[in-house]
Amino acid sequence: FILLLVGVAMIGFIFTVVWMALDGEYVGEIFLEALDLITICVPPALPSALTIGIVYAQKRLKKHGIFSISPERINMSGLVDLVCFDKTGTLTEDGLDLWGVVPTKHDSLNFAPAIQDVSLLPVGPFLTAMATSHSLTVIGGKLSGDPLDLKMFEATKWELEEPGSAENTKFDLLVPTVVRPPHSMILLHPWLNEREHPYEVGIIRQFTFSSSLQRMSVITRTLGSPNMEVYTKGAPEMVIQLCKPDSIPSDFYEVLMTYTEKGYRVIALAYRQLETKVKFLQAQKMPRDQVEVELTFLGLMIMQNALKPETPPIIQELRQANIRTVMITGDNILTAVSVARESKMVPDGHQVVEVTALPSTSRTPASITYTVSSKHMAPEEMEEGEIFMQKEARVDVDGTKNKFHFAVSGKSFAVISECFPHVLPKLAVGGTVFARMSPDQKTRLVEVYQDLGHYVGMCGDGANDCGGRPLCCG
């Protein structure tokens, strides 16, 4: 349509020039009149032409099952040369399956063998942690909440009871949610009152999951128990910082790496008993940093999140279109690297360079370490200059000369942003995996790519991806 208007304008342009030249008009006047004809012919039709183009583009996208809630961004999306992907629910399947649990041994500082059938676990802190560390609620007679929490609770086969509108007793007001094993004959050992009670656990207070803290906690009370308990669930490297050192297994990092390298999502569980003097009102007022301390490590929960079958073909199609792909996730860095390799975001034969940045202390300055690791190679140290000598303002990461990909954690990203801002653009140019990233860090990374001249697209399904999406094309 635009070309048709241009054709009409050119015919008018030529006619005007010839007609005015034959009449002996000045060259300047001929030029102005001819250009005026073009400006009159084309601009009024531009809005209509653009609208028609967007409608036509929507119809083409609809045939491929693609829908847009912001049609004006369709034209801009044609300029995208870099796409940032979330991992869980985007590159991988929406649902998580509980593969098994790895509790700690009671008689030694080591892990017990993995248990895939959670119902075989004895009633105790580990099983209670799985049954209480969630924010599930009953809606229409069905459990609703986070998919991970649902899978975890359903695996325990426990029952959850919330007070109805007709239940206005003091007990119900103090304990809004109660969980119990499926068999009511399970009894507690007698305590101070020398009585036995059914094993029922009331959730007194919840500290909801925070992306920045990478954990959630609950305060509970078991019926007949003189003490309240705290149960915490979250990222393993974050939870162990809150645990007593003597409760952490000696082979913690070895076992954790075994599962994360295989692409499993690993969640750590811990607990502690509050003092007997802590009552209900005190528990409601206790700050979070006083609750989540001196925990006892319980073990690991292993979640399986399969890669979507359409992910590798999409990544390959983007690469063939010279559109670069980057993963920005809140999951463990080893799990993220495993998914990146499986999806071919990191092609076969390419190395992954893990970037670790440490903040300054009273004795040592801030530093950056580059560790080159591969699926079939032992890690080795690499000097900073050896990486940066291959860097330019723009680097084709998929080129034959640059067969490495940076992998960075959120902690390292924060240190580099603060202490080494000049390194950040180079890190973004070679980075493919950014793990344990908070929503603010995702937004910051998108801004860095835009400063480098990229047109960035963000693809994610979680609330923590919302910060980066308004900055992108969609």
Give the active site residues.
86
* DSSP string for residues in 176-210: SEEEE-S-TT-BPPP-TT----B--EEEEEEEEEE
Report the side by side order of strands in the sheet with 201-210. Answer: 97-103, 296-304, 265-273, 228-234, 215-222, 201-210, 177-180, 159-161
End-to-end CA distance of the chain: 27
CA angle (50, 54, 56) in 5-degree steps? 115
Q: Is 261 helix (H, G, I), strand (E, B) or coil?
A: coil
Give the Cα separation of 233 and 218 in Å (integer): 9
Please say whether the beta carbons of 366 and 415 come within 8 A: yes
Residues 6+ apart with CB under 8 A from 260: 266, 332, 333, 334, 335, 338
Give the Cα separation of 277 and 386 in Å (integer): 59
Q: Is 304 helix (H, G, I), strand (E, B) or coil?
A: strand
Which two three-digit tokens encode residue 95?
């649902």
Which two three-digit tokens encode residue 389?
């000598």
Please say whether the beta carbons of 233 and 129 come within 8 A: yes
Which two three-digit tokens encode residue 247?
């409760």
CB burial string 461-472: b at 16+ within 10 A, e below = eeebbebbbeeb
Give the Cα separation of 404 and 387 in Å (integer): 9
Q: Is 115 helix (H, G, I), strand (E, B) or coil?
A: strand
DSSP 8-class letter at 394 = S
Give the Cα separation of 396 and 24 in Å (integer): 59
Give the Cα separation of 311 and 309 in Å (integer): 6
Chain-centre distance for alpha carbon 181: 33
CA angle (198, 181, 266) in 5-degree steps? 135
Strands 82-85 and 456-459: parallel
Residue 144, amino acid:
S
Residues 6+ apart with CB under 8 A from 283: 204, 205, 219, 228, 274
Rounded to 5 degrees, φ, ψ at 25 are -75, 160
